[in-house]
Amino acid sequence: MFKDREKYFEIEKFKNLRVKALFTTKAIGDTDLNLESGQENLKRFFKTEKLTPFSLVWAKQTHSANIVDIKNDIQEFFYEGVDGFITQRKDVILITKHADCLPIYFYDTVNKVIGICHSGWKGSFQEIGIKVIKKMNKNYGSLKENILIGIGIGISMEKYEVGDEFYENFKSNFSKDLLDCSFSKIDEKWHFDNVRFNLENFKKYGISPKNIIVSDECTFKNPRFSSFRRDKNLARNIGAIFLF
């Protein structure tokens, strides 16, 4: 369950395991990490949550499937062309930016590995979430049965209208049963359910449904969140995960 904490929502199941997995609302103010003011504002938010002296790790996202492992010998905290992170470090906060695209959170309960990725339709098409799991397995021996996943908060199917070419592209690359639960016609227009697509794809990959937490919030319908489709601006919500 995603619990509403006013300034952010967090995944209760992760918190109970001493992992903070959160998604901010507009209440924390400007979070444009391309600007120094946005970086400072985000640092102030984490400071009020008594999360210093954590270092913030973020990227210039490009809807890629590139994932970086933040190891103990890595001191760089900003990355170009990256849309996901994993780490065992306890001194960093992994951050992704969202304005309708999904944050997906990961936690290996045995090896104490956390991860997060930015999964818009391009990331979902490239199966970035599954690539995060594979990287966790390769680098830390993480097993599917030990990984908890949190999906959301993002735009709902109802507000996510897409074109015929979009649908045909997915149709050429994924199974009919996955398409049938991820696409729907509303007023003769295709709509895409990014949450359901990732949920069902994780299940097909072998993740137990009991290990997947899904949000039913919608960035477009809830004015507390930034939404590019609704607002057409550069404001972003922040997805973050860290060990505590």
Amino acid 58: pLDDT: 93
Q: What is the pLDDT of residues 72-111, one digit of tens each?
A: 999 899 999 999 999 999 999 999 999 999 999 999 999 9
Q: Rounded CA gap, 86 and 70, in Å?
A: 6
CB 13 within 8 A of CB 1: yes
Q: What is the pLDDT of residues 20-30, one digit of tens each?
A: 999 999 998 87
Amino acid 28: pLDDT: 87
Express the helix, strand and coil content of the chain in percent, nearest 5 each: 30, 30, 35
We find that the CATH architecture of domain 2-156+195-243 is 4-Layer Sandwich (3.60)
Helix axes 194-205, 128-140, angle to 10 degrees: 40
Mean of the per-residue pLDDT values of the chain? 94
Amino acid 48: pLDDT: 78
Tokens 């505590």, residue? 244
Q: What is the mean pLDDT of residues 154-159?
A: 98
Q: What is the pLDDT of residues 201-226, one digit of tens each?
A: 999 999 999 999 999 999 999 999 99
For the chain, what are the domain ranges?
Answer: 2-156+195-243
In this model, does residue 44 exceed pLDDT 90? no
